[in-house]
Amino acid sequence: MPHKWTIWAGSPPAVFFPHQRPPRNRTRATRQSAIHGSVPDVLIYVIANTCSFEEYYPQKKKNPGGPRWKPRYLAALLPATDQWVIPVLCTEVNAFGTIPVLVSVEVLQSCFLEDWSSPLGLSNSKRFMAVTQFEERHGKREARRRAMTIRHLLERKGQCLWTIGPNTTVRDAICRNG
Amino acid sequence: MPFAEMADKNVGSLLVMDDGKLVGIITERHYARNVVLKGKTSLTTPVKDIMETNVTHVRPEQSVELCMALMTEKRVRHLPVLEGSEVIGIVSIGDLLKFILSKKEADIGQLEHYIQGDGWQPVRK
């Protein structure tokens, strides 16, 4: 049975699996241990939109005795399109079913229509996937299809608008814009 | 040849704006069909005579696939993007293809990593 969490805005950041620092590389041994059911070597940190990473990190620096994990292992989620609640189901499919995992920025970007930029450059965890409530309801294909919007395309492409007035002659317009 | 300049800049279309409102669009196709083929001269022909006034547009929250379908159905290669009544951009069929291809490549890369079991590669800042 997959795990499911709901993070309410306004509540303090919820921490899941704050146990150990993940290894730099997942070796064969760690994969084996995962298969045999030891504690997964990943963790999830979900920050509600009321507490951004920038707000959180200075507090963390002032509190060295606090959580041991490094910022690069954190994942921050912004709210879904029309609600302040962030329903996210994060799972890794492996030999013994599904386990909670760190969600990559790319996955988040593909799951949520909201703009999201990473303060951390979390582009790891390529093996993992996140399943939103939308995906559960409408299927992964539909969710992925919806995620690729024109807004994303424009952001990547950058803005460059070539305009003219209706009374300009064709030649003038083209020469001016060219 | 003025349109050579557009080709140099990789600009295939121009939005015709009047008082900040989108009133039409002119593309290389309009130029070829309405100026060159009709024997008009670009020195005297105003843009409003050759522009397409029935402009098909999209909204930013619409999907890339829908945009592609719209282009295929309407047989257009450029779609202005409107947020409310404000023009915020324009997408071409080339932009869409590039975007879709890059997404597919990323998906394939992720699948390859998954199949090969390359493991977790933390990003080093």
For chain B, domain boundaries: 1-55, 56-114
- Using a CB-CB cut-off of 8 Å, the residues of chain B touching A21 are none
Complex ipTM: 0.74
Q: Note whether B109 contacts A: Cβ–Cβ < 8 A.
A: yes
Enumerate residues 6+ apart whose C-beta is below 8 A from A156.
B99
Q: Which fold has domain B1-55?
A: CBS-domain (3.10.580)
Enumerate residues 6+ apart whose C-beta is below 8 A from A42.
A17, A22, A73, A92, A99, A100, A101, A102, A125, A128, B120
Which among A150, A170, A175 has CB closest to B45?
A170
In the prediction, which pLDDT does A144 show?
56
- Alpha-carbon distance of B27 to B22, in angstroms, equals 14
Rounded to two decimals, the pTM is 0.47
The domain ranges of chain A are: 5-177
Which among A125, A151, A159 has CB closest to B61?
A151
* Alpha-helical regions (H) of B1-125: 2-8, 28-31, 47-50, 64-74, 93-116
B76-110 confidence digits (pLDDT tens): 888 999 988 888 888 888 888 888 787 777 767 76
Enumerate residues 6+ apart whose C-beta is below 8 A from B57.
B22, B79, B80, B81, B82
In the prediction, which pLDDT does A85 show?
27
Q: Please give the residue of chain B at the shortest CA–CA distance from A123.
A: B123
In the prediction, which pLDDT does A87 show?
31
B3 contacts A174? CB cut-off 8 A:
yes
Query: Is B56-114 the same fold as B1-55?
Result: yes
B61 contacts A72? CB cut-off 8 A:
no
Which among A145, A150, A164 has CB closest to B16?
A164
With a cut of 70, which residues of chain A have pLDDT below it? 1-147, 173-178
* Superfamily holding B56-114: CBS-domain (3.10.580.10)
